[in-house]
Structure 1
Amino acid sequence: MNEVSCLKKEIFEWLIAIIVAVALYFVIHQFLFLVYTINGDSMHPTLKNGEKVIVNKIGYTIGEIHKGDVVVFHADKTDDYVKRVIGTGGDKVSYKDDELYVNGKKVDEPYLDENKLSKTNVQLTENFSVKDITSPSVDTIPDGKLLVLGDNREVSKDSRYFGLIDEDQVVGEVALRFWPFNVFHYNFDPAQ
């Protein structure tokens, strides 16, 4: 082979590699995973302002949303929020004396411990129930709806502020915190 045909072959191989890389990026970004930067303190101390996370988009297309999942969802046409799922369709949720009750059973929230330590004689989460945040008022979360709250209850704009969200607003579950590297973390499930 002469030098010109070798150069053409090498350029062609590079073009194919670039096209494949761009196609893979598009498929991964569109259907599998997204990178988000945490904006604000509503999930402190679980997630802090400026941290970068990977959101698993495919998990909910083949699985279900569970209580305790940390999710990213479309709050409106321009903003996405990250919050924790507290209740799903069919659940009766209430807070009494700073304690979470789902379907009448007390649920531990270890992700709130650090924020509760900074409080003295003041509730971190005010008393409320599903009835207080729905219009028209209902006792039970309707199917296809979610009650979401931030872990930093004092500053979080969440279901107490905007009501229940639709499951189809959910982009995906926060699967991995990778930046900064010294806070790398991959499991946000409070049960584990």
Structure 2
Amino acid sequence: MKKNKKTTNSSYTKDLLIACLCVLLLLLIVSLIRFKGTRVQGYAMMPALHNGDLVVAKRTKQPKRFDLIVFKIGEKQQVRRVIGLPDETIQYNKDLLLVNGKPVDEKFIVDEINESQYNGKNYTENFFSGELNGSKTIPKGYCLVLGDNRPYATDSRHYGLIATRNIIGVIKIRLLPVNDLTGF
């Protein structure tokens, strides 16, 4: 008995559609495991991120300096920038970031620093990471985070160092608002 060509094409199309749906479902599951979407709350990360921005973070517990991270503090999720890593000494002196005594530029807030200094103020208050934990260096398993909007941000200067186990991920992209789509 001969198969109808129309039936064969219909069966092939159906199989192809099922295969495509399975691949899409698998990609969705993998992306949910590897990535986490979250909304930025508050103004601590301005000018980089604004209240209500939707960001996507890649799940990891190993951030690098200046990565934007999502982490848990109590029951809340927050977004801040990693400034200090384990075994480092962090100090701010007249808006200059010193890592283990060596100056490091913070290019992402240069305009804000310049404006504050023009007005006779420091953008980042002088402080030393040892004030946060009583140790000269940041211990293993912890990092120091600050908001980009330093004068108004609540960050490690207020609640201490962040345990890396509380890090959800490193922000890779801002999805919303669409007109401000940005990769990090």
Q: Which category describes the TM-score, using the shorter chain as reference length?
A: 0.7 to 0.9
**Matching residue of 1:48:** 50
Displacement of 1:22 after TM fit? Answer: 5.4
> Which secondary structure does the structure 1 equivalent of 2:182 belong to?
coil
Pairing 1:161-180 to 2, within 5 Å after superposition: 161-180=158-177
> For 2:32 and 2:154, how far apart are their aligned partners in 1?
27
> Which secondary structure does the structure 2 equivalent of 1:121 belong to?
coil
**Matching residue of 1:183:** 180
Number of matched pairs: 179
Q: Scaled by the length of structure 2, what TM-score is found?
A: 0.83
Root mean square deviation of aligned Cα: 2.6
Displacement of 1:172 after TM fit? Answer: 0.6
> For 1:33 and 1:43, how far apart are their aligned partners in 2?
21
Displacement of 1:166 after TM fit? Answer: 0.6
Pairing 1:2-151 to 2, within 5 Å after superposition: 24-30=27-33, 32-57=34-59, 60=60, 64-77=62-75, 79-119=76-116, 120-134=119-133, 137-151=134-148
> For 1:15 and 1:39, how far apart are their aligned partners in 2?
40
Displacement of 1:75 after TM fit? Answer: 1.1
Displacement of 1:51 after TM fit? Answer: 1.4
Asked whether the equivalents of residues 88 and 137 of structure 2 are also in contact (C-alpha less than 8 Å), the reply is: yes
Unpaired runs of at least 5, structure 2: 4-12
Q: Scaled by the length of structure 1, what TM-score is found?
A: 0.80
Match of 2:44, as an amino acid?
Answer: S
Match of 1:89, as an amino acid?
Answer: P
Unpaired runs of at least 5, structure 1: 2-9, 188-192
Give identity over the alignment, percent. 32
> For 1:177 and 1:114, how far apart are their aligned partners in 2?
22
Asked whether the equivalents of residues 45 and 114 of structure 1 are also in contact (C-alpha less than 8 Å), the reply is: no
Displacement of 1:179 after TM fit? Answer: 1.5
**Matching residue of 1:190:** none
